[in-house]
């Protein structure tokens, strides 16, 4: 690796209390649950579990798409587990989560993209733990807006859908997705339930220019997105899309400022920020405003 591509100091992870992390993850495994936290070996686990936030990966673990930055396996998807909503709800209670993020692989094989399953999970969590806010991080549903409406009618506390990267890189990095379709999804979600917060996120270090990132932020705002997350791309393995740059923390800070000036309610921007990082805290702050 060249000097330039060696991992800089700011990306090195503090040694947290692995024992606490393992305890939480043992419980999740006992409930046959997948979390993005564990699957992605997320560097923020200590902090998020401590803040009573976790991200459940439902309908997984196999995806019908194959984005080049993603660690999820592209294989034939599994049948939906009708017990999954109850398992997620039980884990939310056992972990005492204040904020649950529910996401899924993309299920292009399902007519509704998994919308009904999302709804079942939201319901089960609310029934078991009425005080827990629920954020859904959904796939693009192949533009099935009736399926989106099914999810929005359940009124999740936050509707999240990541654009992941700038428009120019879509064909190369996420050939099965469409930038404009993702923007349309966010705008339609807002139109369906105007008082529900919408959120999106992107990664830096994939070869985008600053100008392109600012254009993306403007596009998100023009589609009435309320919250944004910006983090550093870290390739899951050498076989994945190569990181092009480790972006300096100051650049992340400057983007947060520029984003706030565009009118977002929150822009979480930093090398270790992930789509669900601090999600509960941000939600609480906005509710308190």
Residues forming contacts to ligand SF4 in the complex (CB under 6 A) are: 36-37, 40, 42, 44-45, 48, 53-55, 63, 65-67, 70, 72, 101, 105-106, 139, 274, 276-277
Given the complex with ligand SF4, which of 190 and 274 has the nearer CB atom? 274
Provide, rounded to whole angstroms, the least separation between the CB of residue 238 and ligand SF4. Answer: 18
Provide, rounded to whole angstroms, the least separation between the CB of residue 28 and ligand SF4. Answer: 11
Provide, rounded to whole angstroms, the least separation between the CB of residue 194 and ligand SF4. Answer: 27
Provide, rounded to whole angstroms, the least separation between the CB of residue 23 and ligand SF4. Answer: 15
Q: Which residues contact 199 (CB under 8 A, 6 or more apart)?
A: 135, 158, 159, 160, 161, 225, 226, 227, 228, 229
Provide, rounded to whole angstroms, the least separation between the CB of residue 86 and ligand SF4. Answer: 21
Given the complex with ligand SF4, which of 34 and 274 has the nearer CB atom? 274
Residue bearing tokens 């984005």? 67
- The three state secondary structure string of 69-94 is CCCCEECCCCCCCCCHHHHHHHHHHH
Given the complex with ligand SF4, which of 42 and 234 has the nearer CB atom? 42
Gap between the Cα atoms of 220 and 183, Å rounded: 7
Do residues 64 and 109 lie in contact, with contact meaning Cβ atoms separated by under 8 Å?
Answer: yes
Detail the DSSP E strand segments found in 170-211: 197-204
- Please tell me whether residue 202 adopts helix, strand or coil conformation: strand
Of 160, 212, 217, give the one whose Cα is nearest residue 185.
160
Given the complex with ligand SF4, which of 96 and 263 has the nearer CB atom? 96
Given the complex with ligand SF4, which of 45 and 87 has the nearer CB atom? 45
């Amino acid at each position: 690796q060249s000097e330039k591509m060696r991992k800089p100091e700011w990306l090195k992870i503090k040694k947290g209390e692995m024992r606490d992390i393992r305890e939480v993850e043992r419980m999740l495994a006992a409930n046959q649950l997948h979390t993005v936290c564990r699957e992605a070996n997320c560097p923020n686990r200590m902090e998020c579990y401590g803040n009573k936030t976790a991200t459940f990966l439902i309908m997984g673990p196999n995806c019908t798409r194959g984005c080049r930055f993603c660690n999820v396996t592209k294989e034939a998807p599994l049948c939906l587990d009708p017990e999954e909503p109850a398992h997620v709800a039980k884990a939310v209670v056992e972990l005492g989560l204040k904020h649950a993020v529910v996401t899924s692989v993309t299920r292009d094989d399902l007519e509704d993209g998994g919308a009904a399953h999302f709804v079942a999970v939201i319901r089960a969590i609310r029934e078991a733990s009425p005080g827990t806010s629920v954020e859904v991080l959904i796939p693009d549903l192949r533009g099935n807006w009736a399926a989106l409406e099914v999810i929005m009618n359940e009124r999740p506390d936050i509707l999240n859908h990541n654009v992941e990267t700038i428009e120019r890189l879509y064909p190369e990095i996420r050939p099965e997705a469409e930038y404009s379709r993702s923007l349309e999804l966010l705008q339609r979600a807002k139109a369906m339930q105007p008082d529900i917060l919408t959120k999106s996120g992107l990664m830096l270090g994939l070869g985008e220019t600053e100008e392109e990132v600012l254009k993306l932020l403007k596009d998100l705002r023009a589609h009435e997105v309320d919250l944004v997350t910006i983090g550093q791309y870290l390739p899951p393995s050498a076989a994945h899309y190569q990181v092009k740059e480790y972006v300096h923390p100051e650049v992340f800070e400057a983007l947060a400022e520029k984003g706030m000036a565009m009118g977002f309610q929150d822009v979480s921007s930093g090398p270790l920020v992930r789509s669900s990082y601090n999600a509960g805290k941000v939600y609480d702050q906005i509710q308190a405003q």
